[in-house]
Amino acid sequence: MNTFVAVSNSGDGNRVMTSPDGDIWTSRESASNNWWSSVAFGMGTFVAVAKTGFGNRVMTSTNGIDWESQTSVPNHEWNCVTYGGDLFVAVATNRIMTSPDSVSWTLRTSPNFKAWSSVTYGDGVFVAVAEALGDEAMYSRDGINWRTGSTAKGYAWSSVTFGDGMFVTVSSTEAMDNVMTGMESSG
Protein backbone atom coordinates (compact mmCIF):
# COMPACT_ATOMS: atom_id res chain seq x y z
CA MET A 1 0.00 0.00 0.00
CA ASN A 2 1.44 3.39 -0.98
CA THR A 3 0.08 5.42 1.93
CA PHE A 4 1.77 7.22 4.81
CA VAL A 5 -0.36 7.48 7.97
CA ALA A 6 0.22 9.74 11.00
CA VAL A 7 -1.84 9.99 14.19
CA SER A 8 -2.31 12.86 16.64
CA ASN A 9 -3.17 13.49 20.29
CA SER A 10 -5.35 16.52 19.54
CA GLY A 11 -7.99 17.70 17.11
CA ASP A 12 -11.73 17.35 16.94
CA GLY A 13 -12.26 14.01 15.25
CA ASN A 14 -9.52 14.54 12.67
CA ARG A 15 -6.65 12.86 14.51
CA VAL A 16 -5.38 10.95 11.48
CA MET A 17 -3.54 12.22 8.39
CA THR A 18 -2.69 10.32 5.22
CA SER A 19 -0.36 11.06 2.35
CA PRO A 20 0.47 9.22 -0.87
CA ASP A 21 3.95 10.76 -1.05
CA GLY A 22 4.88 12.34 2.31
CA ASP A 23 4.44 15.83 0.82
CA ILE A 24 0.69 16.45 0.63
CA TRP A 25 -1.35 15.38 3.68
CA THR A 26 -5.11 14.99 4.15
CA SER A 27 -6.89 15.02 7.52
CA ARG A 28 -8.98 11.95 8.28
CA GLU A 29 -11.60 11.15 10.89
CA SER A 30 -10.29 8.98 13.74
CA ALA A 31 -12.42 6.29 15.37
CA SER A 32 -12.50 8.36 18.58
CA ASN A 33 -10.93 11.47 20.09
CA ASN A 34 -8.27 9.55 22.01
CA TRP A 35 -4.64 10.61 22.49
CA TRP A 36 -3.27 8.52 19.60
CA SER A 37 0.44 7.93 20.13
CA SER A 38 1.65 5.48 17.48
CA VAL A 39 0.66 3.69 14.28
CA ALA A 40 2.03 0.59 12.55
CA PHE A 41 1.22 -1.38 9.40
CA GLY A 42 1.07 -5.14 8.95
CA MET A 43 -1.07 -7.82 7.30
CA GLY A 44 -2.73 -5.17 5.13
CA THR A 45 -3.96 -3.23 8.18
CA PHE A 46 -2.97 0.00 9.91
CA VAL A 47 -3.12 -0.24 13.72
CA ALA A 48 -2.97 2.78 16.04
CA VAL A 49 -2.71 2.76 19.83
CA ALA A 50 -3.68 5.49 22.31
CA LYS A 51 -2.80 6.77 25.77
CA THR A 52 -6.42 7.70 26.54
CA GLY A 53 -9.87 6.22 26.01
CA PHE A 54 -12.11 3.71 27.76
CA GLY A 55 -11.60 0.21 26.38
CA ASN A 56 -11.06 1.54 22.85
CA ARG A 57 -7.36 2.37 22.84
CA VAL A 58 -6.81 0.57 19.55
CA MET A 59 -8.17 1.52 16.12
CA THR A 60 -7.66 -0.20 12.79
CA SER A 61 -7.99 0.64 9.11
CA THR A 62 -7.34 -1.24 5.89
CA ASN A 63 -6.94 1.95 3.85
CA GLY A 64 -5.82 4.63 6.35
CA ILE A 65 -9.04 6.57 5.75
CA ASP A 66 -11.84 4.62 7.43
CA TRP A 67 -11.06 3.72 11.07
CA GLU A 68 -12.77 1.33 13.47
CA SER A 69 -12.34 1.11 17.26
CA GLN A 70 -11.09 -2.16 18.69
CA THR A 71 -11.25 -3.32 22.29
CA SER A 72 -7.85 -3.07 23.95
CA VAL A 73 -6.69 -4.85 27.07
CA PRO A 74 -7.00 -2.78 30.28
CA ASN A 75 -6.81 0.99 29.94
CA HIS A 76 -3.08 1.62 29.94
CA GLU A 77 -1.24 4.49 28.27
CA TRP A 78 -0.06 2.68 25.14
CA ASN A 79 3.03 4.49 23.83
CA CYS A 80 4.06 2.57 20.73
CA VAL A 81 2.98 -0.24 18.41
CA THR A 82 4.95 -2.22 15.84
CA TYR A 83 4.43 -5.20 13.57
CA GLY A 84 6.72 -8.13 12.85
CA GLY A 85 6.77 -11.90 12.77
CA ASP A 86 3.01 -12.04 12.09
CA LEU A 87 2.26 -10.19 15.34
CA PHE A 88 1.35 -6.66 16.44
CA VAL A 89 3.09 -5.64 19.69
CA ALA A 90 2.29 -2.53 21.77
CA VAL A 91 4.08 -1.26 24.88
CA ALA A 92 3.13 0.92 27.86
CA THR A 93 4.50 1.38 31.37
CA ASN A 94 5.07 -2.16 32.68
CA ARG A 95 2.73 -3.49 29.99
CA ILE A 96 2.90 -5.34 26.68
CA MET A 97 -0.06 -6.38 24.54
CA THR A 98 -0.02 -8.50 21.40
CA SER A 99 -2.41 -9.34 18.60
CA PRO A 100 -2.14 -11.80 15.72
CA ASP A 101 -5.00 -10.13 13.83
CA SER A 102 -5.21 -6.47 15.06
CA VAL A 103 -8.61 -7.18 16.68
CA SER A 104 -8.04 -9.61 19.58
CA TRP A 105 -5.44 -8.35 22.07
CA THR A 106 -3.69 -10.23 24.88
CA LEU A 107 -1.83 -8.72 27.84
CA ARG A 108 1.73 -10.05 28.23
CA THR A 109 4.15 -9.94 31.15
CA SER A 110 6.89 -7.32 31.21
CA PRO A 111 10.20 -8.61 32.61
CA ASN A 112 10.43 -5.56 34.89
CA PHE A 113 8.58 -2.40 35.85
CA LYS A 114 9.67 0.19 33.28
CA ALA A 115 8.07 3.03 31.33
CA TRP A 116 8.38 1.34 27.92
CA SER A 117 8.35 4.14 25.35
CA SER A 118 9.11 2.49 22.02
CA VAL A 119 9.16 -0.93 20.38
CA THR A 120 10.39 -2.14 16.99
CA TYR A 121 11.01 -5.35 15.09
CA GLY A 122 14.02 -6.40 13.07
CA ASP A 123 15.95 -9.52 12.12
CA GLY A 124 13.45 -11.77 13.92
CA VAL A 125 13.57 -9.89 17.23
CA PHE A 126 11.32 -7.36 18.98
CA VAL A 127 13.22 -4.72 20.98
CA ALA A 128 11.70 -2.16 23.36
CA VAL A 129 13.32 0.72 25.25
CA ALA A 130 12.16 2.75 28.24
CA GLU A 131 12.28 6.37 29.38
CA ALA A 132 13.78 6.00 32.83
CA LEU A 133 17.34 5.89 34.05
CA GLY A 134 18.96 2.47 34.25
CA ASP A 135 19.20 -0.56 32.00
CA GLU A 136 16.18 0.21 29.88
CA ALA A 137 15.77 -2.42 27.19
CA MET A 138 13.92 -5.69 26.69
CA TYR A 139 13.76 -8.11 23.78
CA SER A 140 11.73 -11.04 22.54
CA ARG A 141 11.92 -13.45 19.63
CA ASP A 142 8.19 -14.19 19.65
CA GLY A 143 6.66 -10.98 21.11
CA ILE A 144 5.18 -13.01 23.96
CA ASN A 145 8.13 -13.99 26.18
CA TRP A 146 10.38 -11.04 27.03
CA ARG A 147 13.85 -10.77 28.57
CA THR A 148 15.63 -7.78 30.03
CA GLY A 149 18.49 -6.36 28.00
CA SER A 150 21.13 -3.94 29.18
CA THR A 151 21.94 -0.66 27.49
CA ALA A 152 25.37 0.87 27.11
CA LYS A 153 24.33 3.93 29.13
CA GLY A 154 21.59 4.35 31.72
CA TYR A 155 19.73 7.02 29.79
CA ALA A 156 16.03 7.66 29.26
CA TRP A 157 15.64 6.01 25.83
CA SER A 158 12.72 7.50 23.91
CA SER A 159 12.68 5.74 20.54
CA VAL A 160 14.12 2.64 18.86
CA THR A 161 14.18 1.46 15.24
CA PHE A 162 15.88 -1.18 13.12
CA GLY A 163 17.71 -0.69 9.85
CA ASP A 164 20.78 -1.84 7.95
CA GLY A 165 21.24 -4.80 10.29
CA MET A 166 21.21 -2.94 13.60
CA PHE A 167 18.95 -1.46 16.24
CA VAL A 168 19.33 2.28 16.90
CA THR A 169 17.86 4.11 19.88
CA VAL A 170 17.93 7.77 20.91
CA SER A 171 17.59 9.43 24.28
CA SER A 172 16.08 12.66 25.48
CA THR A 173 18.88 12.86 28.07
CA GLU A 174 21.02 15.97 27.73
CA ALA A 175 24.32 14.36 26.85
CA MET A 176 26.65 14.28 23.88
CA ASP A 177 26.40 10.50 23.51
CA ASN A 178 22.65 9.99 23.63
CA VAL A 179 22.43 7.73 20.57
CA MET A 180 23.10 4.01 20.91
CA THR A 181 23.48 1.36 18.23
CA GLY A 182 23.67 -2.35 18.75
CA MET A 183 23.20 -5.75 17.25
CA GLU A 184 20.57 -8.20 18.45
CA SER A 185 21.42 -10.10 21.63
CA SER A 186 22.14 -13.79 21.21
CA GLY A 187 20.48 -14.72 24.54
Q: Output the 3-class SS for the chain.
A: CCCEEEECCCCCCCCEEEECCCCCCEEECCCCCCCEEEEEEECCEEEEEECCCCCCCEEEECCCCCCEEECCCCCCCCCEEEEECCEEEEEEECEEEEECCCCCCEEECCCCCCEEEEEEEECCEEEEEECCCCCCEEEECCCCCCEEECCCCCCCEEEEEEECCEEEEEECCCCCCCEEEECCCCC
Domain layout of the chain by residue ranges: 35-182
In DSSP terms, 17 is beta-bridged to 6, 27
The mean pLDDT values, 10 residues at a time, for the chain of 187 residues are 89 88 94 93 97 89 96 88 98 95 95 92 95 80 92 78 90 58 45
Per-residue model confidence (pLDDT) at position 132? 73
Q: What type of residue is 179?
A: V
* pLDDT per residue as tens digits for the range 113-161: 889 999 999 999 999 999 876 668 899 999 999 998 877 666 778 899 9
What is the CATH number assigned to the segment(s) 35-182?
2.120.10.80
Contact 64, 46 (CB under 8 A): yes
The pLDDT value given to residue 170: 84
pTM equals 0.90
Q: What is the pLDDT of residue 133?
A: 65
